[in-house]
């Protein structure tokens, strides 16, 4: 891995990390949707899969604009978060309890992504890349909305999980 000389280099490195995270999620979200029982939760995962595919496209266009390639970096944190999601999917559990467990995993993912986008939005501002700021803010907002809708789905699901 080559040395990071300045903020621009760190920006590209952080974008690669996000790209890896998002592409891993494109693979993982259908499995989360499949494992969910609550129809609202299932639909939420499916909706966020579509958004995640758009987020990958936004990152693609940013890499094109920078004349950089998106590959060559694995987001180890997302790999771990998805591994925890897979454990929950494989876990024997009452349906509502499993749903609550899937939400617990998914909200960790959304918070990780919110942190990642928050960082690159600030870098793009400092680097004077307003088109990137707009694109990255759109994805950041989708992550925040996804987190909020998981919180809202959890209201009923946690009640159902309490009954078992």
Residue 143: contacted member of Zn ion, Fe ion, none (CB under 5 to 8 Å, by partner type): Fe ion
In the complex, the smallest distance separating the C-beta of residue 26 from Zn ion, rounded to whole angstroms, is 17
DSSP 70: S
Select 136 or 146, whichever has its Cβ closest to Fe ion.
146
Spatial distance between the Cα atoms of 156 and 114, rounded to a whole number of angstroms: 25
State the binding string over 38-77 for Fe ion (x if CB under 5 A, else -). Answer: --------------x--x-------------------x-x
Spatial distance between the Cα atoms of 153 and 49, rounded to a whole number of angstroms: 17
Total number of residues that touch Fe ion (CB under 5 A): 9
What residue spans of the chain are helical by DSSP H?
7-35, 39-66, 76-90, 95-126, 130-163
Binding site for Fe ion (CB under 5 A): 17, 22, 52, 55, 75, 77, 113, 143, 146
């Amino acid at each position: 891995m080559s040395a990071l000389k300045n903020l621009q280099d760190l920006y590209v490195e952080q974008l690669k990390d996000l790209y890896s995270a998002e592409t891993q999620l494109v693979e993982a979200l259908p499995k989360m949707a499949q494992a969910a029982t609550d129809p609202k939760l299932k639909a939420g995962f499916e909706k966020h899969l579509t958004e995640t595919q758009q987020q990958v496209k936004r990152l693609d266009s940013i890499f094109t604009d920078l004349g950089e390639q998106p590959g060559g970096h694995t987001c180890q944190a997302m790999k771990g978060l998805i591994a925890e999601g897979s454990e929950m999917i494989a876990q024997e559990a009452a349906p509502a309890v499993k749903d609550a467990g899937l939400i617990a995993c998914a909200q960790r993912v959304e918070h990780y992504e919110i942190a990642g986008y928050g960082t690159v939005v600030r870098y793009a501002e400092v680097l004077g890349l307003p088109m990137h700021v707009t694109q990255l803010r759109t994805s950041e907002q989708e992550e925040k909305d996804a987190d909020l809708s998981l919180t809202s789905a959890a209201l009923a699901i946690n009640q159902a999980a309490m009954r078992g």
